Structure 1
Amino acid sequence: MNSVILEQPWHFFSPDPSLVNELAAKSSVPPLIAGLLFHRGINTTDAVTSHLTPVLSSLSDPWKMAGMEPAVERLIQAVKRREKITVFGDYDADGVTASTLVCRFLHDLGLAVDVYLPHREHEGYGLNPEAVKKIASTGCSLLITVDCGVSNQEEIALARSLDMDCIVTDHHEPPPALPAALAVLNPKRPDCRFPFKDLAGVGVAFNLIRALRHRLFELGHWKGSVHPNLKEYLDLVAIGTIADMVSLLGDNRILVKAGLEIIESGARPGIAALKVVSSISSGSVSASHVAYRIAPRINAAGRMDHSETAFRLLMERDAGEAARLAAQLEALNRERQAVERRIMAEALKKIRGMPGRDAYVVSDGGWKKGVIGIVASKLMNRLSRPVILLAEDALEAHGSGRSPEGLNIYEALSCCGNHLISFGGHKAAAGLRLPAASVDEFTTAFEQTVASMLRDRDIRPRLMIDATADVSELLAPEFAEIYEQLEPFGHGYPEPLFAIHNFTVKRSAVVGRRHLKLTLGPDAPEDILIPPGELELVGWGHGDKIGLSWDEFEIACIPCFNEWRGRKRLQLKLWDIRQK
């Protein structure tokens, strides 16, 4: 049975009740939360404790990362000789925060450090020969890549021929043959003993700085003076990690939880200025604040102009200059939103003339490369089919593709490789480049490949419900207390979705002209003891549903906290409804 809002069937997780109750009892958490943690793989008392109270001392040992020893030794040599270093980053939020982290730490050591961030439109992703030659001409003797470099064999070889040593820090899937750098730090290397594999680029860079600081401390570099507190860098790590959509579990959860506290403090002028233009109040900062407000503004620099503006903002120590740079990012983000809306409208118009396709490849000569990935993602969610958008010029088309769960777009592109100049990515997202003259042939081949892959698969979307809950369970004081410890939520660890069916609607209203607000209470006989109180449920954009007979429906909702004037209280966010 499909639902009313999303028009999707609901699928319920159903872990063994006896195992869930045992975990709840041993871990002293409500059964509702124990069930949620259990089916997410957090199914022992030790795992629950570590998850609810993550501490920095539990981070993986950076020295277990393959290549760390030679990387640190080379950096120690650079510190002693006061060498010229260049950090080569990526133009997205992960690359910019990683570049800022490494540059700031090395700069504070007294080193001459340059940064090179490639132009998205003119240079594309990763190292390129012209950039390497330009860096060498500045007298650089040590090149450090962040969030890129693991696939740049030719460019690293060129750098070595120009008398530059190279340290590669990256988190993307490594090719069979690594570049011949002095050190390649990447937890996904097959020979890497670092236990946590899903770091963002900024996470890999942070581990390099952890190890370097440790070795410098052992060597007595600071000679009794105050040595740098790496916790102060975790705001950058949190932003890059959340923005790059790596899983918020393990080391990432520890880093992000601590980093959000630094963001709240407003210690870094650039991030404090971003909070102002993003309308983030002085209260607590959540992962969603970073994902939907801070990160898009950092990314807007690289998408619409040059990521150097974002880098300068994060490096800036003067509050006035930071405010000016943040205003520039705000303007770029508004421009990005307008361009995105235009491309979305144009793409939808083209798609309406292509009904019933298993996959959609849509191209245009007037689309901006830096924005088509966002639009492809939104179209994929809307159509539940693989979508590739191509920005064409006279000679080439540059594309970005997204695919729903159950279909591997990287695998599909591999089957069409003879039509492409290059491509890369993973099962859910990919980038590609092809001759403009080959767009039609590629489109046909890709659609046929996807049709073949879908022949025995069902990729229709289903709403995954974590658990069924009564309002009385959500009103219990211990639920809100423990639920708050489950944050931060994000990619790989989404906000829990509960189905509620035993409730009464005490009050209902339409607020802000189009938003629904229901006040829910428990639905139970009067002789049953239940926690007193009520819960507010907010349905953004669903004011038209105020007249429903709510006793005939189940509600799918996400618990969240609403903070107002220093008071934090549990609230429900409407996600979907279906008839009982």
Structure 2
Amino acid sequence: MSKKIIRRTPVDYSHLPPHLPAIIKQVYAARAVKSASELELKVNNLHGVTELASSLMGINTACELLYQALINKTHIIIVGDFDADGATSTALMMTAFNLFGSTHHNFIVPNRFEYGYGLTPEIVDIAASQGAQLLITVDNGISCIAGVKRAKDLGMQVIVTDHHLPGHSLPNADAIVNPNQVGCTFPSKSLAGVGVAFYVMLALRKYCREQNYFSEYHIPEPNIAQLLDLVALGTVADVVSLDGNNRILVEQGLKRIRAGQTRPGIQALIEIANKNQQRLVASDFGFALGPRINAAGRLDDMAYGINCLLASDLSSARVMAAELDDLNKARREIEQGMQGEAERVLSSLNFDAFNFNETSTAKDNKADFPSAIALYQKDWHQGVIGIVAGRLKEKFHRPCIVFANGSDDEVNDEQSREIKGSARSIPGLHIRDLLEHIDSQHPGLILKFGGHAMAAGLSIKQCDFTRFQTLFDQLASQWLKPEDLQSIILSDGALPVENLNLDFAELLRDSGPWGQNFPEPLFDDTFTLIQQRIVGEKHLKVVVQKSSNGGNQVFDGIAFNIDINAWPNTQATQVHLAYRLDVNEFRGKRSVQLMIENITAV
């Protein structure tokens, strides 16, 4: 589908530090940076412990329970989630309890293929069989009403730490710590699950200090900052909004990693991904480290990923990182196959306007184009449907839900089989709100659901798929405006040729961290096309030229996952590029590279 490039409207940046280049100040101002203080990403600028007691609802009660658990040597079991946020949250809690002197804690992560998401009654029973007395959820729990009830019925205490949006009813936990629960006044609503876990441990240290716990039990007071590498990784990998608070968490975690102050598991993941630890950037968490951890939960058991993060030495961490790398390669193969099948299914549905050639607009009739996509195939892999939904959403700029069979594969009756869907949305449509609306208007159609504005999960009966598919598209058509369905690239404008150099590219890198809702600067301009070729089956490598002061400068560029039916284009001599300025490292040599987001022949 064709993409429209819109340049950001210039805004006033006079309030920003005068020593910054004008381009950098314009970039910051366009991302709503209101003062110089927002650029000071220091630990002491975090929403701090002193305000936690009054603003982060439930944290006082959670600290009291955890303190009693520590002094009474209560058996604590952490219940995690099977994504990178859940893995880092679990590893953070495990590490923190070690620092607090606990020897009676362990973790469980539900296998998505057997138990599904969160604290289910079945997981509670497993925890009970392991002698659990206190359960603490990380990155889940806010919707686990039945699981919490089961735990309470068995005499356990339950602390829920989560960041997902709550439903109308809350679980009957002993304490709930979630910045998004009604009545919580904590300023940063965008914390990832690992961010919430970090704040719980930060508050627990303060509480224990006030109770003289460390001096009485001869335990060194822990440095909670040593957990920030995990916080940074989980925050970026979970694609939460990088508000000011999250940017501090990520920047501080990155600083520790670059300085060599990171755990063996993260170091091993950096190595296997062929990244430079001293020059690591936030996007490396999202595109290199996070997917390798996620692969464990998608294809096998997230315990692999957690144990890698908990590894005590680099040698064992490298072995586990290599296993995660192999899983990630297998995940990519499955994903590519499923995406191809999904596109063939879509092309067979006879939508007149469906057109997989992104450069062609001859049949681009938006009136006939579906507003939302829901697909199901019984042999699709449950662990990869979220990624495929995201790929389809990016390609067609439509909210998308991809379904696969649930864990009851032996059920042959369509009336009984449960299928699980993973949803990804576009700006303009809050996917969880849409699912909640369908659930309220058509009770029983959705068995369970949860999520955020841009991503969600749900379960329905296989026999209800066609009905759900129709309702999903109809409601999306009502909620979305025509302009929402146009794929738009926001550009920071044309970058002067004198800034297309290594020094400025490094300055842009250092001006981050960049991420969700604080996007990396993107520029657009017209270049002369000198060379073009396909590499790696579907990536376009180009050499382009730009005139400058009577001379010409030449730049390398790469566009990933290009439409190979349209490129290489032997007729093209001039191209308009939307690109990010990046630093390419190869065999010790560093050079400027254009990371091409969109390419159009002029």
State the TM-score, normalized to the length of structure 1. Answer: 0.88
Equivalent in 170, 191, 202 of residue 162 of structure 2: 170
Question: 1:530: which partner in 2?
Answer: none
- CA 1:29–1:320 in structure 2 vs 1: closer, same or farther (change >3 Å)? closer
- Note if 1:499 corresponds to 2:499: no
Question: 2:541: which partner in 1?
Answer: 515
Question: 1:326: which partner in 2?
Answer: 321
Whole-Å Cα distance in 2 between the matches of residues 345 and 569 of structure 1? 35
Report the alpha carbon displacement of residue 352 of structure 1 after superposing the two structures with TM: 1.0
Q: Does the residue aligned with 1:406 lie in a helix, a strand or coil?
A: coil
Whole-Å Cα distance in 1 between the matches of residues 481 and 250 of structure 2? 41
Question: 2:85: which partner in 1?
Answer: 94
Whole-Å Cα distance in 2 between the matches of residues 192 and 262 of structure 1? 31
Deviations 1:460-488 (A, max 9, x none): 112211233321355596x5575333222
Equivalent in 545, 557, 564 of residue 579 of structure 2: 557
Matched letter for residue 484 of structure 1:
R
Question: 1:405: which partner in 2?
Answer: 427
Q: Does the residue aligned with 1:538 lie in a helix, a strand or coil?
A: strand
Question: 2:555: which partner in 1?
Answer: 536
Question: 1:287: which partner in 2?
Answer: 282
Q: Does the residue aligned with 2:239 lie in a helix, a strand or coil?
A: coil
- Note if 1:343 corresponds to 2:368: no
Q: What is the 5 A alignment of 1:407-422?
A: 407-417=429-439, 418=442, 419-422=445-448
Q: Residue 6 of structure 2 contacts residue 490 of structure 2 at CA under 8 Å; is this kept in 1?
A: yes
Question: 2:133: which partner in 1?
Answer: 141
Question: 2:57: which partner in 1?
Answer: 66
Report the alpha carbon displacement of residue 314 of structure 1 after superposing the two structures with TM: 1.2
Whole-Å Cα distance in 1 between the matches of residues 385 and 203 of structure 2? 38
Question: 2:44: which partner in 1?
Answer: 57
Question: 2:598: which partner in 1?
Answer: 576
Whole-Å Cα distance in 1 between the matches of residues 377 and 126 of structure 2? 33
- CA 1:535–1:222 in structure 2 vs 1: closer, same or farther (change >3 Å)? farther
- Note if 1:449 corresponds to 2:475: yes
- CA 1:517–1:366 in structure 2 vs 1: closer, same or farther (change >3 Å)? same
Question: 1:118: which partner in 2?
Answer: 110
Q: Does the residue aligned with 1:87 lie in a helix, a strand or coil?
A: strand
Report the alpha carbon displacement of residue 152 of structure 1 after superposing the two structures with TM: 1.9
- CA 1:549–1:248 in structure 2 vs 1: closer, same or farther (change >3 Å)? same
Q: Does the residue aligned with 2:15 lie in a helix, a strand or coil?
A: helix
- After TM superposition, the structure 1 stretch with the greater mean CA deviation from structure 2, 446-455 or 97-106, is 446-455
Deviations 1:101-124 (A, max 9, x none): 111111231331010111111111
Report the alpha carbon displacement of residue 445 of structure 1 after superposing the two structures with TM: 2.5
Report the alpha carbon displacement of residue 42 of structure 1 after superposing the two structures with TM: 0.5
Report the alpha carbon displacement of residue 568 of structure 1 after superposing the two structures with TM: 5.5
State the TM-score, normalized to the length of structure 2. Answer: 0.85
Q: Residue 9 of structure 1 contacts residue 462 of structure 1 at CA under 8 Å; is this kept in 2?
A: yes
Whole-Å Cα distance in 1 between the matches of residues 205 and 242 of structure 2? 25
- CA 1:260–1:406 in structure 2 vs 1: closer, same or farther (change >3 Å)? same
Equivalent in 28, 39, 44 of residue 37 of structure 1: 28
- CA 1:487–1:534 in structure 2 vs 1: closer, same or farther (change >3 Å)? farther
Whole-Å Cα distance in 2 between the matches of residues 434 and 367 of structure 1? 16
Q: Residue 115 of structure 2 contacts residue 122 of structure 2 at CA under 8 Å; is this kept in 1?
A: no
Whole-Å Cα distance in 1 between the matches of residues 275 and 501 of structure 2? 28
Deviations 1:341-399 (A, max 9, x none): 22112212211111325133221111111111111110121122232221135312111
- CA 1:305–1:422 in structure 2 vs 1: closer, same or farther (change >3 Å)? same
Whole-Å Cα distance in 2 between the matches of residues 309 and 111 of structure 1? 21
Report the alpha carbon displacement of residue 329 of structure 1 after superposing the two structures with TM: 1.4
Q: What is the 5 A alignment of 1:171-190?
A: 171-190=163-182
Deviations 1:467-519 (A, max 9, x none): 33321355596x55753332221212121111235x889x8686979521335
- Note if 1:231 corresponds to 2:225: yes
Question: 1:488: which partner in 2?
Answer: 513
Report the alpha carbon displacement of residue 140 of structure 1 after superposing the two structures with TM: 2.2
- Note if 1:202 corresponds to 2:194: yes
Whole-Å Cα distance in 2 between the matches of residues 181 and 307 of structure 1? 25
Q: Residue 146 of structure 1 contacts residue 202 of structure 1 at CA under 8 Å; is this kept in 2?
A: yes
Equivalent in 370, 389, 392 of residue 383 of structure 2: 370
Equivalent pairs, count: 555
Q: Does the residue aligned with 2:181 lie in a helix, a strand or coil?
A: coil
Q: Residue 401 of structure 2 contacts residue 423 of structure 2 at CA under 8 Å; is this kept in 1?
A: yes
- Note if 1:391 corresponds to 2:416: no
- CA 1:338–1:133 in structure 2 vs 1: closer, same or farther (change >3 Å)? same
Q: Residue 471 of structure 1 contacts residue 500 of structure 1 at CA under 8 Å; is this kept in 2?
A: no
Deviations 1:7-48 (A, max 9, x none): 3222111134xx23x235x5432222222111211033333x
- After TM superposition, the structure 1 stretch with the greater mean CA deviation from structure 2, 367-376 or 169-178, is 169-178
Report the alpha carbon displacement of residue 221 of structure 1 after superposing the two structures with TM: 3.7
Q: Does the residue aligned with 1:489 lie in a helix, a strand or coil?
A: coil
Q: Residue 2 of structure 2 contacts residue 487 of structure 2 at CA under 8 Å; is this kept in 1?
A: no
Whole-Å Cα distance in 2 between the matches of residues 161 and 234 of structure 1? 36
- CA 1:556–1:457 in structure 2 vs 1: closer, same or farther (change >3 Å)? closer
Q: Residue 502 of structure 2 contacts residue 591 of structure 2 at CA under 8 Å; is this kept in 1?
A: no
What percentage of aligned pairs have identical amino acids? 33
Q: Residue 510 of structure 1 contacts residue 546 of structure 1 at CA under 8 Å; is this kept in 2?
A: no
The runs of 5 or more residues in structure 2 that have no matched partner are 352-368
- CA 1:445–1:573 in structure 2 vs 1: closer, same or farther (change >3 Å)? closer
- After TM superposition, the structure 1 stretch with the greater mean CA deviation from structure 2, 461-470 or 449-458, is 449-458
Equivalent in 466, 476, 486 of residue 440 of structure 1: 466
